[in-house]
Structure 1
Amino acid sequence: MNMMVTRRALLGGMALGGAAAFLPGSAFAFRADGATLYPATNAFIKGFVDRRELAGTLACIGKGQEAPLSFGAGTQAMDSAKPVGPDTLWRLYSMTKPITAMAAMLLIEEGKMGLDQPIADFLPAFAKMTVQNTPDGSITAVHPAKTPITVRQLLTHTAGLGYNIIQTGPLRDAYNKAGLIGGQVSRLPIPGMPPITPAPSLAAFADRLAELPLVYEPGTRWSYSVGLDLMGRVIEVVSGQAFDAFLKTRLFGPLGMTSTFFQVPASEAGRLSTNYFPMGGVLLPIDPGTSSIYLDKPPMPYGGGGLVSSARDYDRFLAMLLGEGETGGVRIMKPETARLAMSNLLTEGVATRGSMIDGQGFGAGGRVSLAGSPTGEGVYGWGGAAGTIGFVDRARGYRVGGYTQYMPADVLPFQAKFGEAFYKDVMR
C-alpha cells in the first residue's frame, strides 16, 4: 500500500538543524582507521547503536579525490546479523534532489533550456498560473500570478509551489486528492497517515499540479516544494528521454553508480536496510528491507525523493561535485556549470526568514553556506527524510555522507548533529 510521506517526517529530514546545516570513480575503503581519523564522528554515530536507538549507522568521508573512508556500527536491521557497510542500500529521500538538479544543469549547459527560462515553454499548462490570495487559505480565492515560473525557481524552491508535507488546509487536501506526493514510505498501513493514490506518471503529476494554485508569487519566497519532482517532467520533455533513463545515461552510468535505484532489484534486496519509526524507546519497522515498498515499481520516478543508493554510489556523485564536474577521469559537466550549481542561486529579494535555510543560500537542489556561516562559504548539500545527509565542503576539500534509517528525522539528533560532529574533527 502506498502511503504519503508525512509532513513531520520530511520536515524533520530537511531541517539539518542550526549548526548541522553547515556546521549543515575511485576505490572504496571500509577501514577501521576512519574511526581513528574522525574520532568525534565515529563516537557520534556509534553512540546511537550502542544505546540501541538505531539499528545501524555509517559515515563515508573523502578528502579531495582520494578514496573515501567508511566506518560504521550496527546492522542493516535490528533482526539482522549483516553489518552495515559501503554497499548497504539506504532510502535517500530528498538527497535525490541534488541529483535531479544536476541533471537539469546538464541541459542548461547544453543550451537546451535556460536558467531563467519559463517552464511554460516546455510545459504549456503552467503558462497561466494562479496564486492563493491567502497562503494555505481558500483554493478558489485566487489571482493571476504576476510572473511566470522559471527553471531557476524550480531548482531553488522559489516557484511558489506547495508540498503536502508543508501546506495545511484545502491546498494540502487538494494535493493529496490529486496524488501529488513526493515519495513512498511503506506497504504497511501507518496510523495517522491517510491512504493516497499517487499520480501514475510524471506527465500526470505535472498536469494535475498545473491545475492547482500556487502558494506564493513566483520568485518571492523560499518554500519547500515539489519543484524538483516537477523538474523531472521538465527534463523528460527537454531531453526527449524518460527521466529515470536520463539519470542512468548521463549520471549513474558514467559515474559507475550501479547501486542507485528507483526500484531495488530483487537480486539486491539483501542489501536493503530497514526503515524504522522510533517510539517510546522502541524501533518499529515501518519498511522492512526484505519486504520494502522499494522492491515494487514506483508509480513515477520521484525526482524530489525517490532514490535508494549506497554510500559507495553517493560518494561518487559527491566526488564529481567536489571535482567541479569530474571524478576518476570522467567529466560529467563543465567546471563552470558545477560551480554555478553549487553557488547561491537565490535572486535578490527572495524571503528566507523563518525557513529551513534562514541565514543560508540555496543552489541547484541543495543548501549553500554563505560567508557568515560557521564554516564560511563553500558547503553544498542536503538531507533526506529517513535520517541521511550528504554534502561537499569545497573550501576544505571534503565530501561527507551520513547514513541510517529512521523517520521522522527530528525524533533523534543523528541528522541534525552529524555535521557538527564532523566539523569537530576537521576544525580542531
Structure 2
Amino acid sequence: MLTTIRALGGATASLALLLATPMAAQTAPPHAPQPRPAATRSLPATEALARDYVATKKAPGIVIAVGGPDWTSIHAAGRTAADANARPVDADTLWRVYSMTKPITGMAAMMLVEDGKLKLDQPIGDFIPAFKNMRVLTDPATSLASRPAARPITVRHLLTHTAGLGYNIVTKGPLLKEYERLGIIPASVNAQAEVAMAKARPTSLEEFANRVAGLPLIADPGTTWSYSIGLDVLGRVIEVASGMPFERFLQTRMFGPLRMTSTWFQVPESAKARLATNYAFAGDTMIPVDPAATSVFLQRPSFPYGGAGLVSSARDYDRFLHMLLNGGTLDGRRVMKPETVALGMSNLLPDGVTFGGVDGGTGGEAGPKMGFGAGGSVYLESLPGRPAKGTYGWGGAAGTIAFVDPARRLRGTVMVNYFPADRWPLRTDLVRALASDLAQPVR
C-alpha cells in the first residue's frame, strides 16, 4: 500500500497550456459567475476535446474551465463514475485536486506577507521553535547521520520546495523509512489505506510540524529544488502567524470572500452526491481506487494537508484563478493587492537554485526554462506551443491541471480523476484545442 501512496500522494507541476495567439474579448456563458460579459465566443475544439476523452474511455468524466478577465467558458462531458447511471459531471462536480492545493496554500501565505505577519526571508523557527536548529544528512543512502544546517529554513524555502525537506514520493533510504514510521505522509488515497496511515500519522498540524523538525534535511536550505512537504509545513506557519487554525484562515480570507462554496478538506454529507470516483489505470482498464460513495474524502483528515488535501469543483478553482488573473479582485471584492499577487506568481527561487520540472507520473512535466513562485511553477521564457513567460500554475496527482497566464490574460482549470496523471497527454491535447479555438475570430 505504501507503494500506492508514493505513486499517488504528491502532486504536480507545471502546465503546458498556453497558446501563441493573443486573445480577443470573450463572453461567459449565462451560467458563469461573471458580472459583465464582453462578447460571445464559442470554443468548439475545447468542447470536442472534452467529449472525445469520454467517448474514447480516457476518463468517465471531464470538466474544462477556461476564461479571461471578464469571461468564463465551462465545458463538461461524461459522468462522475464509469457506471451508466452515475450523475453527469458539471461545473460543480467535486474532484480530488491533490497538489493543486499547493498554490492555494502558497497564496494564503502571501496574504500574511501582505499583512506584515510573515516575511519571505523570515526563519520559520520564529513560528515553530522546533525548526530553529536543523541538521542535514551526511550519508543519505545508508544512515541518518547529520551535521548542522548552514542556515535556517525560511518562508521562501517552504513556498518554493527549497527547504531541504523530503516527500514520500521522492525521498529514499533511511529518511524515507522514518517518514513512513512517523506518519509524515500528508495525503489521502482511499478508506482502506487510511486505516493504516491514520494510526501512524500525527493528529494536528502542530504535531506534524514538530515531527518533521525532528528529522534531518536532505540538503541545506536554499540550495536545491526538491519536491517536498514544504507546503504542508507552511500550513502550520500560517496558523501560528494568523492566530487561527489553517482551515479557518482559508475559509475566512479566501474561500468565503471568493464565494468558493465547494472547496473542502472533508466533503460534507450534503455534497456527497457531487463527488466523482477516482480511478487507476491497469493497462487500458480503469479500476476504482476511491469510489465516491465510500471515499476517504468523506472522512475528516488527520489534519488539513496544505500540500495535497483539498477537494474542489471546476467552478470554485476557476474563481481562485480568476482572482489571481484580476490581480487580487473578483466580483468587486479584493482579497489581495495586485503587487502581492504579482510577487506570488513571480520566480521566488533563492539565488543560484533552478527548477527543471518534475516527473509526469505525478502530474507534472519537464518543460522549458522555469522558476518557482508561491506553491506553483513560473515560466521564465515564451516558446511556441508553450505557456507564455510569467505563466503560473500547478497540477494534481489525479490528473487535474491549473494555470494563469498574465501576459495573455488567460486562465484554465481541467478536472479529471485518474492515476497516473500522465496516462493521457491531456496538457498537449488542451494546448492544441485552445490554440485552434483562440485563433478563430470572435463571433
Determine whether 1:145 maps to 2:149: yes
CA pair 228-100 structure 1, distance change in 2 beyond 3 A = same
Q: Does residue 234 of structure 1 match 2:234? A: no
Tell me the residue number matched to 2:6: 7
- Tell me the distance in 1 between the aligned counterparts of 2:350 and 2:53: 40
CA distance in 2, matches of 1:366, 1:155: 8
Q: Partner of 2:192: helix, strand, or coil?
A: coil
Q: CA RMSD in A?
A: 2.6
| Post-superposition CA distance 1:161-216 (Å, at most 9, x none) | 100011112111111111111310101359xx988732211011101000111111
**2:160 matched to which residue of 1?**
156
Say if 1:220 and 1:351, in contact at 8 Å, map to a contact too.
no
Shift of 1:224: 0.6
Which residue in 2 is equivalent to 1:126? 131
Deviation at 1:139?
4.1
Deviation at 1:353, TM superposition (A): 4.5
SS in 2 for 1:59: strand
| Whole-angstrom distance in 2 between the partners of 1:409 and 1:6 | 14
Quickly say closer, same or farther: Cα 1:281–1:108, change in 2 above 3 A: same
Tell me the residue number matched to 2:270: 267
Structure 2 vs 1, CA of residues 21 and 395 (structure 1 numbering), >3 Å: closer, same or farther? closer
Counterpart residue identity of residue 72, structure 1:
A
Q: Does 2:307 correspond to 1:312?
A: no
Q: CA deviation at 1:21?
A: 8.8
Deviates more, 1:2-11 or 1:379-388: 2-11
**3-state SS in 2 of match to 1:70:** strand
Unaligned runs of 5+ in 2: 21-27, 34-39, 359-364
Secondary structure of residue in 1 paired with 2:77: strand
Provide TM-score, normalisation by structure 2: 0.87
Partner of 1:174: 178
Contact (CA 8 Å) 1:65, 1:323: kept in 2 or not?
Answer: no
Provide closer, same or farther for how the CA distance between residues 47 and 205 of structure 1 changes in structure 2, counting only shifts above 3 A. Answer: same
The TM-score normalised by the length of structure 1 is 0.90
Distance 1:163 1:424, change over 3 A: farther
- Within 5 A, what are the aligned runs for 1:16-415? 16=14, 19-20=16-17, 28-29=31-32, 37-66=42-71, 68-79=72-83, 80-134=85-139, 136-189=140-193, 197-353=200-356, 355=358, 359-373=369-383, 374-415=386-427
- Give, in angstroms, the shift of residue 376 of structure 1: 2.9
CA distance in 2 between counterparts of 1:183 and 1:94 reads 9
Cα distance in 2 between the residues matched to 1:365 and 1:300 = 19
Identity of aligned residues (%): 49
Q: Are the aligned partners of 2:19 and 2:431 in contact in 1 as well (CA < 8 Å)?
A: yes
Match of 2:24 in 1: none
Aligned to 1:149, what secondary structure does the other structure show? Answer: coil
Change (3 A) 1:294 1:194: closer
Q: Indicate the SS of the match to 1:37.
A: coil
Distance 1:233 1:357 in 2: 30
Conserved? CA contact 1:3–1:195, under 8 Å? no
User: What is the DSSP-based 3-state SS (H/G/I as helix, E as strand, rest coil) of the residue aligned with 1:58?
Assistant: strand
SS in 2 for 1:100: helix
Q: Which residue of 1 aligns with 2:23?
A: none
* Equivalent in the alignment of 2:25: none
With 44-53 and 256-265 compared, the bigger mean Cα shift is at: 44-53
Secondary structure of the corresponding residue to residue 191 of structure 2: coil
Structure 2 distance, partners of 1:185, 1:335, is: 36
Residue 297 to residue 186, structure 1, CA distance change in 2 (3 Å)? same
Where does the alignment leave 5 or more consecutive residues of structure 1 unmatched? none
Does the C-alpha gap of structure 1 residues 261 and 38 become closer, same or farther in structure 2, counting only changes over 3 Å? same
Question: Distance between the aligned counterparts of 1:184 and 1:39, measured in 2?
Answer: 36
Answer yes or no: is the 8 Å Cα contact 1:61–1:401 preserved in 2: yes
Structure 1 Cα separation of the partners of residues 375 and 193 of structure 2 = 31
Show CA shifts across 1:300-327 (max 9, x none).
Answer: 0000010101111111111110011111
* C-alpha distance in 1 between matches for 2:178 and 2:208: 13
Cα distance change on mapping 1:133 and 1:372 into 2, 3 Å: farther
Paired with 2:98 and 2:376, the residues of 1 have a C-alpha distance of: 13
How many pairs are equivalent? 416
Higher mean displacement: 124-133 or 368-377: 368-377
Secondary structure of 2:200's aligned partner: coil
Q: 1:98 to 1:22 in 2, by over 3 A?
A: farther
State the one-letter code of the partner of 1:318: L
For 2:14 and 2:392, locate their aligned partners in 1 and report how far apart those are by CA, in whole Å: 12
Contact 1:385–1:407 at 8 Å: present in 2 too?
yes
User: Using the alignment, how far apart are the partners of 2:105 and 2:307 within structure 1?
Assistant: 7
In 1, Cα distance between equivalents of 2:169 and 2:393: 21
The amino acid across from 2:109 in the alignment is: A
Q: Is the 8 A contact 2:149 2:220 kept in 1?
A: yes
